[in-house]
Structure 1
Amino acid sequence: MDDRLVVSMIQCFFIAFGVILGGTIVGSIGSYITGEAPLTAMFRIAKSLRIWAIVAAIGGTFDAISNFEKGIFDGSTFDIFKQIMMIVSAMGGVKTALLLFEWLLGEEVT
């Protein structure tokens, strides 16, 4: 496996993790300021940010689609494998952030 792939996977993981963590915390501060329950808002915000964290981590949907297209039409199977691994890595970062919030808040984020 290429070293750049491993580096990209680690970066994708932490970008997705950071989007969930930062977005949820900052969003709950906004809920607190407006008088809503911040812990309830954390669950709602974390749930709604999941797909956006994955998209942000892999660099947007158009790059992913063009990499899949290059892999299928140009016969470059490594590009398809790389893109799948990036998506899996980003999903791991999202799941880790959601587990962290479940441990801290004591409720399951579904």
Structure 2
Amino acid sequence: MLAFYQNILYNFFISLGVMIGGCLFGGIAATFNGHPPLKTMLDLCEKIKIWAIIVALGGTFPSFKVLEIGIFNGEIRGLVKQVIYILSALLGAHIGYRLIYYLESSGPL
């Protein structure tokens, strides 16, 4: 049971880290290339959100396999666990997106 809660936290923080790290380093690259960093960061947030979720889940095939077994073989417990893992990763990616979005909107007054 402890591993279940640990995996929820891992999924959340991995997807959050992918979002924030990817967008921040993308903003640095945009600065070096002469593009507006905050606009580039927002564009990257929209593009890498799904990838942050996939990275947190460890790829798509194990997740789909668990979903398939849960749906077709009636193993509801595994299905519920996988849905919670997906929601945790989705929440982490969304919070990362919102943090970058708030960073952009907190410009000079």
Q: TM-score, normalised by structure 2?
A: 0.91
Identity %: 33
Task: Give per-residue Cα distances to partners, 1:10-63, cap 9 Å, x unaligned.
Answer: 100000000000000111111111111111101101110110001111111101
Q: Give the whole-Å Cα distance in 2 for the aligned partners of 1:102 and 1:90.
A: 18
> Offset of 1:75 from its aligned partner?
2.5
CA distance in 2, matches of 1:6, 1:14: 13
Residues 82-106 of structure 1: per-residue CA shift (max 9 Å, x gap): 1100010011101111121122221
Structure 2 residues not aligned, in runs of 5+: none
Count of matched residue positions in the alignment of Structure 1 and Structure 2 = 106
Supply the distance in 2 between the matched residues of 1:27 and 1:104 (Cα, whole angstroms): 14
Matched, 1:74 2:106: no
Alignment of 1:19-38 (within 5 A): 19-38=18-37
Segment of structure 1 superposing worse, 40-49 or 96-105: 96-105
The separation in 2 between residues aligned to 1:73 and 1:88, in whole angstroms, is 21
Secondary structure of 1:75's aligned partner: coil
| Aligned structure 1 segments of 4 or more residues deviating by more than 3 angstroms | none
Offset of residue 70 of structure 1: 1.9
Any residues of structure 2 matched to 1:1-110 within 5 Å, and which? 2-106=1-105
- Provide the aligned C-alpha RMSD in A: 1.2
